[in-house]
Structure 1
């Protein structure tokens, strides 16, 4: 910018010629210059004020808009914006197939202390010990009087306990909100649910994690925020589960058994409607596992899945069904069942020294002949026998959706000589879980099409392999029906429900080798109704001993079969099965003229 001179020479000279004062000209120019400078400064100041005013308008406008948005929005719980959040406490519910809650969350509080803020540490310790009898007074006094600045007292307390602690009036005792896992049905389905505990935790929240059962198997799914709180729906029916557990508990007492297990499964889908193992526990107060001794002595032990038992004569239907499928025999084929039978240096005997002579295939199952079953198994040969058992699932753990599933691997003989083939045919020498047996019986009842057990309701499944022909499977079910009508399973007959099943009594092996002479596992494996199988029930008692008119008995026909009958009598109506008038079965035990052939070795 070019400034105007304060004393322009031309004006100064003219002013001197006229006798005027030249300083007046300088003063006028200086005033004009100052006016220009002031106008420029005023303009800059006004610009700054305008910008500041606009900034304030925008800022307060944004705050106002945000406040209006929050005021108009519905209140919601805050959720983690990323999967890396430190603690995710929310856990989905678990329900039965009808939506009844089996496991849920409960808002509670934790109790902790800041000893340095306490006014009367000794008095607070005494009052806390009175409220919580499980706490040690000496330990509390030591913690409160030491150098610690933070002490956990209880990870979860009830509202009543919280009020009692609040009434102490000690400023150093503080509460933290958190969620805990609640099992509202107590012991019911405890082995299936498993239980939970706290993982990561602080004073304001805690991460609930599964420790066993479906809680552990589906732990990641149950904690996934992406599921939007949808419950995990199990295949269990809470009413059927409760009824089974009640009957099993009473059966254990009556039969003086050490333990019991029961599995009720849908034939078509493999869905487990009820599964119980006794003794059980309360998952709300899960006991500690045993560190030594027999694992089955612990209430945490799931006999249905983890138990490995020789299941006795319940196996006899498998070689017979396979031989019928291969058309090696028919129900009326006569078999040489003379006992004892010698295989190498070993003798195969019948129960209580019986010698049945010649039996039809039907009567081999009805009378539960060891020798007759071995004769049929010899027609198959070891390879075909092993092939069927493998297809039925007896060589691998069941794929059940529980953390304990992989631990229930059957004990299968490494070698399979003739004597092993014989003993496996009548349920000895191969140990499997009751769930394996239930799955195999479901496959037979399902027209020979393999069934996969599951605890999840309405899951899409692939169709199973055809293990047996439908006709052979149907015939096998009719043979099992004969066992209940006129064989060792008569005590399991429930009028109107066409129960078909097989008893099995197996001596328990000693840990040091050999077998106990007075300890057995008695099992009854069944399906009903026989004319159109809908359900499979397997029930086992560990070391039962029934006292009756004939004295003491440990056989499955006297112990597990009557308990199974009571389970069916109680559960079938809950499942919507109405008793039907039964049609008389054909007398398949009588041989036809063209079937009078004798199978013998």
Structure 2
């Protein structure tokens, strides 16, 4: 009997040992799976739940004029996000109504309480509360201080406060089309803000800190962080004083002529630096969509007419035809032409603007009188291939490379598709189309001893360190500099253009003693998407520089669809005179006494 009891006892012991052994094997297997197989996954999960990664946004670089005046700056503002899951847990744990929480948050942020309540109930696709909801942006410091106090006092750690960016244009509409604007995230939307967006934006930093289960940073832990690299400051070639003068001149021209629009560009003809760029009407970059009802209206308002659009240049293009003919030795100062008021090309009569014509003229006369038949003769001597060769050399038909987005190439008729009538009309500024920056670049080539320079707006870029000190890291380098015509040809033509202003069709721009050289233009506007021209729609223009023998400043004025008078000599040249007078005064440029 005793032996039987011993057997049973040993059997029970064996079962217990087997069970314990199995349990230990299972536990060991689980530990192996957790500690070895799934270690990386579980560690990452644990770190994700116990750490908070916050992107620290860099400050967008400022845009300054050539004298350091601020044109676009970024203010320090903040944004608030909500972790709605933590908010819900907080409400349940502390038995606090979400309505009360919404009231407190809306009061601190000056938000509509009903919108805050709706935001607090937003859920994801599977029905869970959102972990990251953007509640408010561009919050000023005095407001965010109240929010921080609320978060601390009430332990509202479901509120996440981050730095944000707010772009500010202190002069409102000033230089609007060139500066452009940014979108709601602070990224470049148009203009220089878009073209130099990468340089202005900088590189974000990262802050990683340990948090508890309610996402509150642990006080004993030192956060790991990388400092953001702020965006570069960009110094422009723009002179704010000259820009102001040009803005006022454009506004007055638009008012006086009841025009659809006015563009003015002022440059240094030797370097291609743009001192001023104006388009009217314009917009306020601080609120670029204000007052606009449709996307088409917005598109038209934002277009930089001087850069994005191409129009027939009219008689201002005669500068190029003259330069080509002089360079090829196909004409000379006393070359004789006869204008009877029209010329017939392949059965098509092309009229001079003056009924009855100008009669006998020399080369300087056809420039001074802007005589179409005379330039048709020069175009005929050059021929299709040679004329197009110079058109290309002067930068037409391709973007000039200005540092603004959306630049047009213009429209140049290919040589193999050019008829004799086309050759005739192109020679005096019709059929082909060009942008305003292409035209000012062509004039500058003549005024700069025949050397082409690219119109541009960036003068230099500077990095700004944590200590606030700035260092120039890049200056503008022109990659398109080239000799287009000889210095002799350029200087000869510059002298002729001075006579166009002093005694010719552009005499309304004449100021004694300043040696202004220039050319007016009056171009019919081509029908959009069709053949022919729009009746009664013109672009009146003037391009000029001074002094003609050592130019310090050049400018272009274009008046789009003026009402009433529409000749460039009548309405654009007087604007040029007023503009030159004010710029000369600003530059302390004195007249030359004879």
Instruction: With the length of structure 1 as denominator, give the TM-score of the two structures.
Output: 0.72
Q: Given the alignment, which residue of 155, 169, 175 partners 1:183?
A: 169
Q: Residues 535-546 of structure 1 correspond to what in structure 2 (within 5 A)?
A: 535-545=553-563
| CA deviation map 1:521-556 (0-9, x unaligned) | 1111111112312222011011112xxxxxx31111
Change in 2 beyond 3 A, CA 1:173/1:385: same
Distance in 1 (CA, whole Å) between partners of 2:145 and 2:253 is 44
- After superposition, give the CA deviation of every residue in 1:450-483 in whole Å (9 maximum; x if it has no partner): 2222222253446832211222211211221122
Q: Is 1:152 paired with 2:131?
A: no
Match of 1:261 in 2: 263
Asked if 1:487 corresponds to 2:456, the answer is no
The 1:509/1:460 distance shift into structure 2, 3 A limit, reads: closer
| Cα displacement string for residues 341-363 of structure 1 (whole angstroms, at most 9, x for unaligned residues) | 11113211011534122211111
Confirm whether residue 96 of structure 1 aligns to residue 65 of structure 2: yes
Equivalent position of 1:464 in the other structure? 481
1:125-164 equivalences in 2 (<5 Å): 142-144=118-120, 147=123, 149=130, 151-159=133-141
Match of 1:473 among 490, 495, 501: 490
* Aligned-residue offset at 1:292: 5.6
Within the candidate set 509, 515, 535, 1:517 is matched to 535
Q: CA deviation at 1:216?
A: 2.0
Distance in 1 (CA, whole Å) between partners of 2:71 and 2:64 is: 5
Q: Is 2:76 the partner of 1:107?
A: yes
The alpha-carbon deviation at position 153 of structure 1 amounts to 3.9
Residue in structure 1 matched with residue 576 of structure 2 by the alignment: 564
**Partners in 1 of 2:297 and 2:264 — Cα distance?**
21
Match of 1:412 in 2: 412
1:276 aligned to which of 257, 275, 278: 278
Query: Contact (CA 8 Å) 1:121, 1:145: kept in 2 or not?
Result: no
Q: What is the CA deviation profile of residues 182-241 of structure 1, one whole-angstrom value per residue up to 9, with x for unaligned ones?
A: 222222222222222354xxxxxxxx4222222222222233469886522221111111
- In structure 2, do the counterparts of structure 1 residues 163 and 441 end up closer, same or farther at CA, with 3 Å as the change threshold? same
Contact persistence 2:311–2:435 (CA under 8 A): yes
Contact 2:57 2:164 in 1 (8 A): no
| Secondary structure of the structure 1 residue equivalent to 2:305 | coil
Residue aligned with 1:283, SS = coil
Asked if structure 2 preserves the Cα contact closer than 8 Å seen for 1:121 and 1:144, the reply is no
Cα distance in 2 between the residues matched to 1:327 and 1:271: 32
CA deviation digits over 1:370-422, x for unaligned, max 9? Answer: 111111111111111111110000010110112223xx111112322211111
Q: Deviations over 1:61-86 (max 9, x none)?
A: xxxxxxxxxxxxxxxxxxxxxxx995
Residue 322 in structure 1 maps to residue 324 in structure 2: yes
How far did residue 105 of structure 1 move?
2.0
Separation (CA, whole Å) in 1 of partners of 2:104 and 2:344 = 79
The secondary structure found in structure 1 opposite 2:551 is coil
Q: Which has the larger radius of gyration?
A: 1
Q: Of 330, 343, 360, which residue of structure 2 is paired with 1:341?
A: 343
Distance 1:476 1:318 in 2: 10
For the pair 1:503 / 2:483, whether they are aligned, the reply is no
> How far apart in 2 are the matches of 1:346 and 1:164?
78
Quote the Cα distance in structure 2 between the aligned partners of 1:402 and 1:321: 29
1:303-318 counterparts in 2 under 5 A? 303-318=305-320
Give the deviation of 1:310 after TM superposition: 0.5
Deviates more, 1:384-393 or 1:489-498: 489-498
Q: Secondary structure of 2:379's match? A: helix
Once residues 339 and 277 of structure 1 are traced to their aligned partners in structure 2, the CA distance between those partners, rounded to angstroms, is: 36
Corresponding residue number in structure 1 for 2:18: none
Residue of 433, 436, 454 corresponding to 1:431: 433
After TM superposition, give the deviation of residue 437 of structure 1 in Å: 0.1
Matches within 5 A, 1:325-404: 325-404=327-406
Secondary structure of 2:441 counterpart: helix
Is residue 425 of structure 2 the alignment partner of residue 445 of structure 1?
Answer: no
In the aligned structure 2, how far is the partner of 1:328 from the partner of 1:183? 53
Q: Please, which of 276, 298, 301 is the counterpart of residue 299 of structure 1?
A: 301
- Secondary structure of the residue aligned to 2:445 is helix
Q: 1:462 to 1:178 in 2, by over 3 A?
A: closer
Residue 120 of structure 1 corresponds to 100
Return closer, same or farther for 1:427/1:138 CA change in 2, 3 Å cut-off: farther
RMSD across aligned positions (CA): 3.2
Change (3 A) 1:120 1:217: same
Structure 1 unaligned regions, length at least 5: 1-83, 200-207, 546-551, 584-601
Structure 1 residue matching 2:344: 3-state secondary structure? strand
Q: Which residue of 2 aligns with 1:16?
A: none
Displacement after TM superposition at 1:442 (Å): 0.2
Aligned to 1:220: 198
- Name the structure 2 match of 1:81: none
Q: Quick one: structure 1 residues 492 and 160, their matched pair in 2 at CA, closer, same or farther if it must change by over 3 Å?
A: farther
2:11 alignment counterpart: none
In the TM superposition, what is the alpha-carbon distance from 1:333 to its structure 2 partner?
A: 1.3
Whole-angstrom CA distance in 2 between matches of 1:339 and 1:108: 67
Could you tell me which residue of structure 2 aligns to residue 47 of structure 1? none
